[in-house]
Amino acid sequence: MERLKAAGSAPRGFFCGPRGGPEAGPQTEKERAVEERESKEGLRTLRESIDRTDDELLRLLNRRMELVREVGRIKAENGWELFDPGREELIYRKLGEANPGPLPPEGLRSVYREILAASRMLQYPLQVGFLGPEWTYSYLAALSLYGHSARYVPFPNLEGVFDGLGRGKVRVGLVPIENSLEGGVGLTMDLFYENNPRVVQECYLEIAHCLCGRAPEPSRVESLYAHPQALAQCRRWLLEHCPRAQWRECPSTAKAAETAREDPCGAAICNLYAAYHYELPVLAERIEDHPGSVTRFFALADRDNPPTGKDKTSILFAVSDEPGALHAVLGPFTDLKVNMTRIESRPNRVLPWHYLFYADFEGHREDDRIRQLLSELRYRVTFLKILGSYARSDAAHPIRFDREKMR
């Protein structure tokens, strides 16, 4: 018997019951019926506890909505801004730090994203402009910030997002600013120079490409529809797994999915949400050549954010064409111990052969140290525009929609 136990087997004539440990003889029909009855009773008790918990959650949610409505009334009476993305980010941060589990961080954010969206609806309708159409990565980034209760307004190009915000067609505009593999989005930086929105929020979204379509398998895809950037990011995988496919460029991943829906031998590179919306079978997931691609998005509005205690500031500046000019600008960052997290140059579209510099650094424009930094910079540059200060997001933990199990 000792040898049998060591091998991980129970001796013949013994039964390892569900509660563990050997029981003499095989389980009888009566014993199985008793165990099943006990299991059902236990399940019923658990479900009753869940129902009571749901009742309590509903009571607390409605209590929260009453408080939110009162906050909105006070803000409206005093002419204060209703939209406060910094406050929302503080809520996420506080809850994330206090969460003991087992609710995972992405699940917590997903739940509270919709709670905050419902709260906003009691105070004002939030109109969000984005680079359309729906089900693009820009749309998913907007959803990740403002939930399903906001009103989303698609624009055909980035110029339209900036213009719509400037003309008051939307309250918030969402634009991509950089990708972890491909660097800055040049057009967005150009539009910051030509327009005057304020950056009020940032988010990081993981880009996970899928091959979706009505072709029976990847090797039999004849027409492949995709945005040029998606094609570039999946090039090696496509050459290996879709050797017959003719590549056909589309203006967006959502348009690619819409087009592939009508082609029985076609497929699209898109996200899972677009595949679900256009009823496309998923032929392969995560086909990008370099996994972990993350795009950073900015939310734009027409006013500044108050400090949250963990902020970032973005600026545009230009320097004179002389030796040491850029070095002189960087000096105050070292002297004041301000951490610059990004700097990138960009040709000035208005003045040929002149360059703009885009920079991010930690801190809020109202912090004493950042006030001093900006004051020093003004004497060392030929042009300075403060794009905004906003709550910092964690680039190491981007939003991953595949973890929300959209299938």
Helices H / strands E in the chain, number of each: 13, 17
Q: What is the pTM of this model?
A: 0.81
How confident is the model at residue 337, as a pLDDT?
Answer: 96
| Alpha carbon distance 383, 318 (integer Å) | 5
Residues 216 and 105 in one domain: no
How confident is the model at residue 407, as a pLDDT?
Answer: 42
Q: Assess if residue 233 is contained within a domain.
A: yes
Q: What Rg value do the Cα atoms of the chain yield, rounded?
A: 27
Q: Assess if residue 32 is contained within a domain.
A: no
Dmax over CA atoms of the chain, in Å, equals: 93
Residues 283 and 320 in one domain: no
How confident is the model at residue 140, as a pLDDT?
Answer: 92
Residues 195 and 226 in one domain: no
How confident is the model at residue 25, as a pLDDT?
Answer: 60
How confident is the model at residue 402, as a pLDDT?
Answer: 58
Residues 227 and 331 in one domain: no
The rounded average pLDDT for each run of 10 residues, N- to C-terminus, in the chain (407 residues) is 42 45 65 81 89 92 90 84 82 89 86 86 88 91 90 94 95 94 90 94 92 93 92 93 93 91 93 92 93 92 90 95 92 96 90 90 96 95 95 87 51
How confident is the model at residue 398, as a pLDDT?
Answer: 87
What is the span of the domain harbouring residue 113?
Answer: 85-207+395-404
How confident is the model at residue 105, as a pLDDT?
Answer: 84
Residues 268 and 367 in one domain: no
| Alpha carbon distance 256, 212 (integer Å) | 10
Residues 201 and 116 in one domain: yes
Q: How many other C-beta atoms lie within 10 A of the C-beta of residue 319?
A: 19
Residues 251 and 282 in one domain: yes
How many alpha carbons lie under 13 Å from residue 295 in its C-beta half-sphere? Answer: 21
CATH classification of the domain holding 272: 3.40.190.10
Q: Assess if residue 148 is contained within a domain.
A: yes
Residues 6+ apart with CB under 8 A from 26: 15
Q: Assess if residue 122 is contained within a domain.
A: yes
Number of domains in the chain: 3
Residues 193 and 109 in one domain: yes
Burial class (CB in 10 A: 0-12, 13-18, 19+), 250: buried
Residues 198 and 229 in one domain: no
How confident is the model at residue 15, as a pLDDT?
Answer: 43
Residues 6+ apart with CB under 8 A from 210: 269, 270, 271, 272, 275, 282, 283, 284, 285, 286, 287
